[in-house]
Structures are given as C-alpha cells and as structure tokens.
A = this chain, B = another copy of it.
C-alpha cells in the first residue's frame, strides 16, 4: 500500500496550516476549532497545540459526531446520508471563525451535514474547512480552505489515515 504521507509530512503540514490560519484570520482571537469524529478530533487538537506554540494563546476545541445513515428507502444511486449524532462544543460560536477539521475530504456530504449543525448551533461569522487529505470526487460544491495534501484517487481506492492518538502511528495510505 503506497504511503502518501509519513509522520514527518503530517507534522509539517499541520504546522504550515496553523501559520495559514493565523495569516488568513489576522490572529486567532475569534478562532474556534471543531473536529469531526473520529480522526478530525486529534487533528483539531494538534492544530490547537501548533497555534499555541506560535501565539501562546489557547484556542477552544470541540467535536462533532457524524454517522452515515442508510434508511429503508435509500437507493443504490445515492448511498447513505450523513446524520449529526452529537456535538461536544462547550463554548459559544456566535460571531466566531469556526475551523471545521476532518481527516479526509471526499464527496462533501459529511461536511454539508456538519455545516448545518454548526449554523444551527450558534451563528458563526465564518466556517472554514481544514482537511489532512483531499482525495477528490466531490458530489457537492464544497471545498477545503486548508489542505494537508491533495491525493488524487480513483473511486476504487480508499484513503486510510492513521494517527498516533488512535492508531499508534502517523501515516496516510492509499489502498486499492
């Protein structure tokens, strides 16, 4: 299985993204991080640590749990729909710049569900998207603002993100 990002590449990407976030938002006062479970959450926490290393400030970090749901009426042509199962966001989003964080951007359907949840939750001023890997094949007009690595894939391939906090190592692989 080809490794498209090793631990060093993952670390350097997240440091670079932290700098991009600061530059794009002219500071981090109004920044809030929200990771999508499972692997978006440790990535969000690493970004918070990188932002603290650079600025000295703590960025509040929360989590969204989104699962794929297949109902009885679901047709083959569309597939399961993402549904927001729970939110752990113990801070106010109103008027804030919310950085939504996920490991892999693919069809965009999970992100759309997350946008709905965040907007219902608290009227953020902006929602910006951070992903470690963009694998292409979008089904909705969604784009990431910050990308660790663009990894062009075929539909038959899958992208496996391994993170030390969950999997014991940092590595991104493409499986066919």
Contacts and interface: CB of A to CB of B under 8 A. Distances in A.
Interface of A: 75, 77-78, 81, 94-95, 100, 111-112, 115-116, 119, 123-129, 138-145
B116 A94 contact: no
A139 B129 CA distance: 11
Tell me the interface secondary structure of chain A in the complex: loop
8 shortest A-B CB distances, which residue pairs? Answer: A77-B95, A129-B141, A143-B143, A78-B123, A126-B139, A127-B140, A141-B143, A77-B125
A127 to B, nearest CB: 5
Given A127-B140, A139-B126, A140-B126, A77 B100 contact: no
Contacts of A94: 75, 77-78
One complex includes copies of this chain to the number of: 2
Nearest to A125: B77
Contact of A112 (B75, B81, B115, B144): B115
Nearest to A122: B78
Given A75-B94, A78-B94, A141 B123 contact: no
A127 B141 contact: yes
A142 B139 contact: no
A100 B139 contact: no
Given A77-B94, A112-B115, A115-B112, A141 B125 contact: no
Contacts of A129: 141
A167 to B, nearest CB: 27
Contacts of A115: 112, 140-141
A115 B114 CA distance: 13
Given A112-B115, A115-B112, A116-B116, A141 B100 contact: yes
